[in-house]
Amino acid sequence: MDTVYRSALRAQNFQSFQDLPFKFFYILVAGRQLLKLLGDSFLEVYSHLNKLKKIITYPLCRSTGDDDVAIKILYCGICHSDLHSIKNEWNNAMYPVVPGHEIAGVVTEVGKNVTKFKPGDRVGVGCMVNSCQSCASCDDGFENNCSNIIFTYNSVDLDGTVTYGGYSSNVVVHERFVVRFPDAMPLDRGAPLLCAGITVYTPMKYHGLNSPGKHVGVVGLGGLGHVAVKFAKAFGMKVTVISSSPAKKEEAMERLGADAFVVSKNGEEMKNAAGTMDGIINTVSANVPVAPYMGLLKPNGKMIMVGLPEKPLEIPPFDLIMGSKILAGSCIGGMRDTQEMIDVAAKYGVTADVEVVGAEYVNEAMERLAKADVRYRFVIDIGNTLKASSD
């Protein structure tokens, strides 16, 4: 079994962002010689969070089973969920956390029952790596709604092991949860679509916000928002970007092709846009009021939440009842839709705008992400830069 290099956070429950020691973010797997001493079950790991620089054991990803696909990871996007997780903002972190659910790479090995993939195929893995595969949701292709969904990292798999994400050199996944990358889709700019892309594609598809001529609003112009704008324009829709930052207007309209731009803090602009939109995709993860956006909707309009603010939403029922408006949520998408999304993206040239960084830059990337200082997604060049610690 090959050595797997991982970057992880080992810590206890940090109470605030300021408490998080980003400067000591890395835990890197040691080399093959130590692996030989331990056998195939564990790797030696060097934790820079440990002041004694103690070598600790670290579980290796599982062997390739009969239904599994082994993947050499080449790129992995940095999602805002990664930041939430390592800060334990959702109170579910199982340290050491190995983030990363926007994985792109090539197949290195397949199990004997695998029929969809072969070594050398360009593939990706998104936000989930398993489910019960037998409930009504799974049978209907909505594994994302399975009550036993297994997320790509920070989740407990069916065998009781903790899952580790794409800040790694390799991953082993059941073939059901692997998508094929079309030849026209670059791996680096396609990797973020496995989270950001499917997250906005699914609500557009299932809430009727993918029809030519309809008017959709996109709240937030970040990793999710800029992809939502691209998909909406590919569908032939009118797109209005809604942002608290006036400085993003030129970017939204001139480069991404939005038809209009509304500054959410500008009362006059919000008033002029009232009652004009068939739907809104709200991508914001910050704790900002959502009630003002309901006024932008037409009667029977709907706002779909795809961002995950830390605090509960507050909205007066009156804002929903008057005009028969809907406030809904959407969680990523099933595997059938994920493959469809990546195929549609390749057909229309929809990719994420990325800044490719080396593994050694993850600390700085996380700090910049927390400040919204990225346009629009960091992607780690895993294949060329994630190496074992030499210390």
Class of domain 196-329: alpha beta
Question: Residue 119 has which token pair?
Answer: 């070594």
3-state secondary structure of 274: coil
Q: What is the pTM of this model?
A: 0.86
Among 51-65, 108-122, 130-144, 245-259, which is the least confidently predicted range?
A: 51-65
Question: Cβ atoms within 10 A of the Cβ of 370, count?
Answer: 15
Q: What is the mean pLDDT of residues 30-34?
A: 30
3-state secondary structure of 50: coil
Residue 10 CA from chain centroid, whole number:
21
Instruction: Just give the CATH number of 17-194+353-385.
Output: 3.90.180.10
Residues 6 or more apart whose Cβ sits within 8 Å of residue 143: 128, 131, 133, 137, 149, 176, 177, 334, 335
- Percent of the chain residues topping a pLDDT of 90: 70
Q: What is the pLDDT of residue 161?
A: 87
Whether the bond between 376 and the residue before it is cis, its omega within 30 degrees of 0, is yes
Task: Fill in the DSSP letter of residue 116.
Answer: S
Domain boundaries, the chain: 17-194+353-385, 196-329
25 pLDDT higher than 60: no
DSSP-derived pairing of the beta strands 122-125 and 179-180: antiparallel
Among 116-125, 139-148, 223-232, 378-387, which is the least confidently predicted range?
A: 378-387
**Per-residue pLDDT tens for 154-187?**
999 988 888 989 988 889 999 999 999 999 999 9
Q: Taking a C-beta distance cutoff of 8 angstroms, is the pair 229, 212 a contact?
A: no
Same fold, 17-194+353-385 and 196-329: no
Mean residue pLDDT of the chain comes to: 86
Q: What is the mean pLDDT of residues 323-351?
A: 98
Task: Fill in the DSSP letter of residue 48.
Answer: T
CA–CA separation, 309 and 234 (whole Å): 28
- Identify which of 221, 250, 216, 253 has the alpha carbon closest to the alpha carbon of residue 235: 216
Q: What is the pLDDT of residue 169?
A: 86
Residue 388's pLDDT band (boundaries 50, 70, 90)? low
Residue 369 CA from chain centroid, whole number:
13
228 pLDDT higher than 80: yes
**Per-residue pLDDT tens for 273-299?**
999 999 999 999 888 899 999 999 999
Residue 219's φ and ψ, nearest 5 degrees, are: -90, 120
- Identify which of 26, 87, 127 has the alpha carbon closest to the alpha carbon of residue 334: 127
42 pLDDT higher than 70: no
Q: What is the pLDDT of residue 310?
A: 79
Q: What is the pLDDT of residue 86?
A: 83
Q: What is the mean pLDDT of residues 350-363?
A: 93
Q: What is the pLDDT of residue 203?
A: 98
